[in-house]
Chain A
Amino acid sequence: MITALSHPFFLHALLAGTAIALASGLVGYFLVLRAQTFTGDTLGHVAFTGAMAALAGGYDLRLGLFAATIGVALLLGALGRRGRPDDVVIGTLFSWILGLGTFFLTLYTTHRSSTQGNAGITVLFGSIYGLDATQTTTAVLIAAGITTAVLLLARPLLFASLDEAVAAARGVPATALGLGFLALAGACAAEVTQAVGSLLLLGLLAAPAGTAIRLTDRPYRALGLSAALAVLDLWAGLALSAQVPVLPPSFSIMAVTATCYAAAHLVGP
């Protein structure tokens, strides 16, 4: 573990991963509370398409990630009712966008991929050890921004998530909050894709939140616990993959989150 910390790639993974996990634990709590985990899943697929489109067009992969996830998150909100996407809209958009992703993947592999032949795999399953110093700084700053925003919105968002009509009657801008939250969820999905990949991002978004909700029935405590669990899951996953090099970090992080979730079900009410 000490030797692992002396490698810059591991240090980057730890720094970026911690910030990303913190943000995703917070966003994840509200995704679960608002019953929007399906939206989170869709944003993962959108992240893949966005990244592939950017690579095919010769741009920075992250540009495509963020543009696609935030754009689609807002589109879903606009198509749904009161800033809440509905499942049929999501399902239709989701498969179409994933199809588009395979198109960009083909375009990319046939025309551009002389250097990065496995970029598709990297986006799908993450490459947390592949982050350089600049990418790490950017990831940390964006995650800090998402974290701050979620904490600022937390209380009225909780109110609007539980009781939209009453919250609106009390002067909470429920629809705008719903849209704002979707944009944050989109940005968060783009961040998590860099850590564990677009296919696995629900593991960091939904599993810690699901675990926290099993363990406490106090909302703010659950929010904090969800963030703490996401960070701990990530640390444990990285430590595991440092000890057992054959385990890819995405796998070990997912293994830890799933184990925690299962354990919470066993001990919880």
Chain B
Amino acid sequence: MTAQPIEQAAVPAPAHAGAPVLQLTGAAVRVGGRTLWSGVDLTIGAGEFTAVLGPNGVGKSTLLKTLLGAAPTAAGEIRAPGRTEIGYLPQRRTFDAGVRIRGIDVVRLGLDGHRWGLPVPFLNRARRRAERRRIDEAIESTGATGYAHRPIGECSGGEQQRLLLAQALVTRPRLLLLDEPLDSLDLPNQSAVAALLGRICREDGVAVVMVAHDVNPILHHLDRVVYLAEGRAVTGPPREVITSETLTRLYGAPVEVLRTTDGRLVVVGMPDECRSGGPCC
């Protein structure tokens, strides 16, 4: 981690500019008759890394589902890529140790799992070869080659996460939606996967939207933060959003953002929806 992570984050994303990958205008979502959030404006271009932050139950995962088209909007407009252009990594429970299916087969399902029937071995060889190449490439890009042929149930949490990331990337999506992908990982794995996501974002020009419980592991990769609270949202670069003034205004209650000597951010005094007690923001 560098000494000045926030300033670094302010550097605009490299030249992937052009038409935005994702655009929300005045979007609102209602679940069970209650408005979770409203008035969310957001524009994300290719190669940009965005984090969705906020206390538990505020509708962060619902935001991802809305972008997927799996949850309807109550108001506003959403322009997102089609299903085949989105990679999705839902909030994770790990695979049980008894799941004896190789990682590479799980990755392959990301490519062809929606097709009916069974793969026929000797039919359409050229396509199968191309698919095989793409699968190997995706696994290589997440650094999972070493254990892709082991049963996924026998892989560690971090290894499973990399395989699932390869599964999400195998279709070459323009938009990657991730729901707390670092949650079940230990600290070294958290920063390794965060760096991997940053690289996928910059080098492959994939727009990444990630729901996070703790912003610190990804802080110096981020271009933008969507902070949801009290049914509203603030959007902007992390150094503008994660500040005492902005969060106090958002919550309508005094909130203080502290910065530790190693550059980590700690939000204190938040209304008690956030019970984790940790560095939660």
Contact = CB atoms under 8 A, between A and B. Distances in A.
Contacts of B101: 162, 217-219
A264 B90 CA distance: 35
Given A166-B90, A213-B100, A159 B113 contact: yes
Interface stretch (A97-105, A147-155, A183-191, A231-239): A147-155
B116 interface: yes
Interface in B54-75: 68, 70
A172 B102 contact: no
Interface in A203-225: 213-214, 217-220, 222
Contact of B99 (A153, A162, A172, A220): A162
A222 B151 CA distance: 13
Grouping DSSP codes into helix (H, G, I), strand (E, B) and loop, the A interface class, with mixed when no group exceeds half, is helix
A218 B102 contact: yes
Contact of B102 (A155, A169, A171, A217): A217
Name the residue in B105, B115, B151, B168 with the highest tally of chain A Cβ atoms < 10 Å from its Cβ.
B105
A155 B113 contact: yes
Contacts of A166: 88-90, 110, 164, 167-168
Interface in A166-190: 166-172
A172 B114 contact: yes
A168 B114 contact: no
Given A162-B99, A166-B167, A155 B116 contact: yes
Contacts of B109: 155, 158-159, 162-163, 167
A223 B135 CA distance: 22
A167 B118 CA distance: 16
A219 B105 contact: yes
A170 B90 contact: no
A131 B113 CA distance: 40
B254 interface: no
26 contacts: A152-B116, A152-B117, A153-B116, A155-B109, A155-B115, A155-B117, A156-B113, A156-B114, A158-B109, A159-B114, A162-B101, A162-B106, A162-B109, A163-B109, A163-B167, A166-B88, A166-B89, A166-B90, A166-B110, A167-B113, A169-B68, A170-B88, A171-B114, A217-B100, A218-B101, A219-B105
Interface of A: 151-156, 158-159, 162-163, 165-172, 213-214, 217-220, 222
